[in-house]
Amino acid sequence: MTKIVGVTACIAGIAHTYMAKTNLEKFAKKEGIEIHVESQGSMGIENRLSQQAIDEADVVIFAVDTNVAQRDRFADKKVLEVGTSEVVKDGSKTIQKALELCK
């Protein structure tokens, strides 16, 4: 089973951060993919990814419009970086792009 971890973060750290998180989870579930998503918003880091989840992931999705806090945790991982609005508009396409990186 493919495993994905993700980080979502928008400039304001409010709406798009959480909408992107929801869409990643929704479309990964439809594909039968295990996903864990951390949000870095106005409340700080929520649902912090464990290092084990990061290490076991086949790919990382950064759905961000700003810098990822503690990015070094994802060193040596395949990363797909997209804007939050792209994920909000078409989360399915983002998941498909991530799966392509796993091949």
- Tens of pLDDT, residue by residue over 19-62, are 999 999 999 999 999 999 999 988 899 999 999 999 999 999 99
Catalytic residues: 10
44-46 sheet: strands from edge to edge: 44-46, 34-41, 3-9, 59-64, 79-82
Give percent of the chain with pLDDT exceeding 90. Answer: 90
Number of H helices, E strands in the chain: 4, 5
Answer whether 39's CB lies under 8 Å from 17's CB. Answer: yes
The model's pTM = 0.96
Domains of the chain: 3-102 (3.40.50.2300)
